[in-house]
Amino acid sequence: MNTAPALRSFAVCQLCQPAARAAVRRQWRYASTAAALPTTSRPQQQNAQRGTIHRVPRNVAQKEEARVAQQSLARRKGDEELRPGQNRAAPSRAAVVDAEHVRTIQRIDGLAKEVLSSEAIPSEEAVVQLLEQCTSVARALVGHEDESSPTPQETTGSSNATTTAASSLLSLDAKRPSSVSAAQLIAHLSDLAYRLLTHPPVFITSQILAAYTTLQSLLQRPSTLAEIFHLYAHKPVPRPNTSPPTYSTPNPRKVSAAIPTTIANTALTAAIRAHDLSLALSLIETSFRAPAFRRSKILRRAAPPLLGFALAPLAAWAGASQLATYQSTMDPSHATGLAFAGILTYIGATATVGAVAVTTSNDQMDRVTWATGMPLRERWIREEERAAVDRVAGAWGFADAGRRGEEEGAEWEGLREWIGVRGMVLDRVELMEGME
């Protein structure tokens, strides 16, 4: 390399000439690298520089690092201006979910209007499917409900809040899903399910009742459950194959009119969570205290043991006849009579002890017990009622066992009186902790 032109401007000694030439080479190398950097792609630079090490000027490296840092910051903040050519960011997931919920509810509204506007008797499957669709939407809406918005007051029929929610839903533009809040959609779903079950041609079955109870409990709007429980046993039954449909008066005391225990417990749990004492007591009145529930319990749980007890003499006589053939000390007929009497005595004594043990057990009782003199059959038949009242008393009283008996107030005194007139005692003194 010719370094004479570069060294003409100053005079150097022979010992300093190698250092001067090295400085000139570094200057030419930096200049050539900086000139080639903007026009040469990265793969070409790697192929051209393979096997050699070149240093990039400090100002160029700083600019490259600043550009990379700026792009990283743009990706984190979602700034579209820092990355030209990129498509606009997709809307947030919450907005997409809300829009999907609104479209689903609009579709459910269309199906419900077909049922409500028609005088034909809808099938059980159609009503259950509508309620299940409402439940699936409600599970998502409960999680997306705005915590800052006030909780709407529960309504048993049409109200201003429900009317506003319905009108907003019907006039909603798909491009603006945020115009309807989750609380309004929840109120609309609750009112829609209520109108569906109170529609005269809709016959309320146990599956429909279970779906409705699950929906209202999930929406935390159980105020209509007591009314629906009453309609389950008293709503006129539409006669099939009649147009317009005619109705027959049902028998509220028949076994099929009893509210299932699981459904009643679910509704009671929702009422306790809503801190509505009158609703909780109304649910107990329309479910566990209904005559149909008592008949259902006797048929389901008492009929099999009673049938077995009725057939016990026949089985005992057959067994005694066989036992009489295995002895020769007395007459076979006399031996059969003795064996028959012994078997019946054993069965009767065992059954009596078992019945007394079942009807007098109180280990499951917490704060509500039976009053003195309550017949054993009443205790057994009304045990679910007592357990439900016990749950209500435990929810409204002090959780600390040491402070039980210190409750006061109008609601508590009303609850004590309500329990007392139905043959039960709240906080019996001799059964309280430390009063043995």
State yes or no: pLDDT of 20 exceeds 50. yes
Could you read off the pLDDT of 205-229 as tens digits, one per residue? 999 999 999 999 999 999 999 999 9
Name 209's Cβ contacts closer than 8 Å, sequence gap at least 6.
228, 229, 232, 259, 260, 263
Phi, psi of 368 (to 5 degrees): -110, 125
Q: Cα–Cα distance between 296 and 257 in angstroms, integer?
A: 9
- What is residue 26's predicted lDDT score, i.e. its pLDDT? 53
Q: Are 396 and 426 contacting, i.e. CB atoms less than 8 angstroms apart? A: no
- What is residue 209's predicted lDDT score, i.e. its pLDDT? 96
Q: Got the DSSP string for 44-86? A: HHHHHSTTS--PPPHHHHHHHHHHHHHHHHHHHHT-STTSTTP
Q: Look at 93 and 145; give whichever has higher pLDDT.
A: 145
**Dihedral of the CA atoms 85, 90, 92, 95 (nearest 10)?**
140
The pLDDT confidence band at residue 369, using thresholds 50, 70 and 90, is very high
Place of tokens 């007395």: 330
Q: Cα–Cα distance between 154 and 268 in angstroms, integer?
A: 16
Q: Are 226 and 278 contacting, i.e. CB atoms less than 8 angstroms apart? A: no
Q: Look at 89 and 128; give whichever has higher pLDDT.
A: 128
Q: Are 227 and 156 contacting, i.e. CB atoms less than 8 angstroms apart? A: yes
The pLDDT confidence band at residue 104, using thresholds 50, 70 and 90, is confident
Mean pLDDT, rounded, for 134-163: 58
Burial of 228 (0-12, 13-18, 19+ CB in 10 A): buried
The pLDDT confidence band at residue 16, using thresholds 50, 70 and 90, is low
- Highest mean pLDDT range out of 81-85, 149-153, 347-351, 402-406? 347-351
Other residues' Cβ atoms within 10 Å of the Cβ of residue 399: 8
Q: Cα–Cα distance between 341 and 335 in angstroms, integer?
A: 10
What three-state secondary structure class fits 238?
strand
Which of 161-165, 319-323, 376-380 comes out lowest in average pLDDT? 161-165
Q: Cα–Cα distance between 158 and 192 in angstroms, integer?
A: 10
Q: Cα–Cα distance between 339 and 326 in angstroms, integer?
A: 12
Mean pLDDT, rounded, for 177-183: 65
Q: Cα–Cα distance between 170 and 344 in angstroms, integer?
A: 73
- What is residue 33's predicted lDDT score, i.e. its pLDDT? 44
Place of tokens 């839903």: 169
Report the candidate in 358, 367, 374, 343 with the shortest Cα–Cα distance to residue 431.
Answer: 367
Report the amino acid identity of residue 398: F
State yes or no: pLDDT of 187 exceeds 50. yes
Mean pLDDT, rounded, for 135-152: 65
The pLDDT confidence band at residue 153, using thresholds 50, 70 and 90, is very low
State yes or no: pLDDT of 145 exceeds 70. no
Q: Are 387 and 361 contacting, i.e. CB atoms less than 8 angstroms apart? A: no
Q: Which residues pair with 369 in a beta bridge?
A: 425
- Highest mean pLDDT range out of 174-178, 324-328, 352-356? 352-356
Element (H, E) at 247: strand 247-248
Report the candidate in 182, 158, 204 with the shortest Cα–Cα distance to residue 105.
Answer: 182
Q: Are 412 and 394 contacting, i.e. CB atoms less than 8 angstroms apart? A: no
Number of continuous H segments (helices) and E segments (strands) in the chain: 18, 4
The pLDDT confidence band at residue 289, using thresholds 50, 70 and 90, is very high
State yes or no: pLDDT of 1 exceeds 90. no
Q: Where are the domains of the chain?
A: 1-37, 93-287, 299-360, 361-436
Mean pLDDT, rounded, for 31-42: 44
Other residues' Cβ atoms within 10 Å of the Cβ of residue 231: 17
Which of 89-98, 232-241, 282-291, 332-341 comes out lowest in average pLDDT? 89-98
- What is residue 32's predicted lDDT score, i.e. its pLDDT? 46
Mean pLDDT, rounded, for 56-66: 57
Tokens of 49: 């520089």
Tokens of 282: 């109304």
When the pLDDT of each residue in the chain is averaged and rounded to a whole number, the result is: 78
**Residue 266 exposure: Cα atoms within 13 Å on the Cβ side:** 20
State yes or no: pLDDT of 93 exceeds 50. no
Q: Cα–Cα distance between 62 and 327 in angstroms, integer?
A: 114
Could you read off the pLDDT of 383-415 as tens digits, one per residue? 999 999 999 999 999 888 888 888 889 999 999
- What is residue 40's predicted lDDT score, i.e. its pLDDT? 42
Report the amino acid identity of residue 123: S
Mean pLDDT, rounded, for 110-115: 90
Q: Are 7 and 20 contacting, i.e. CB atoms less than 8 angstroms apart? A: yes
- What is residue 328's predicted lDDT score, i.e. its pLDDT? 85
Report the candidate in 435, 413, 428, 424 with the shortest Cα–Cα distance to residue 387.
Answer: 424
Tokens of 128: 């259950």
Distances (CA, A) of 380 to 232, 253, 377, 416: 25, 19, 5, 22
- What is residue 181's predicted lDDT score, i.e. its pLDDT? 75
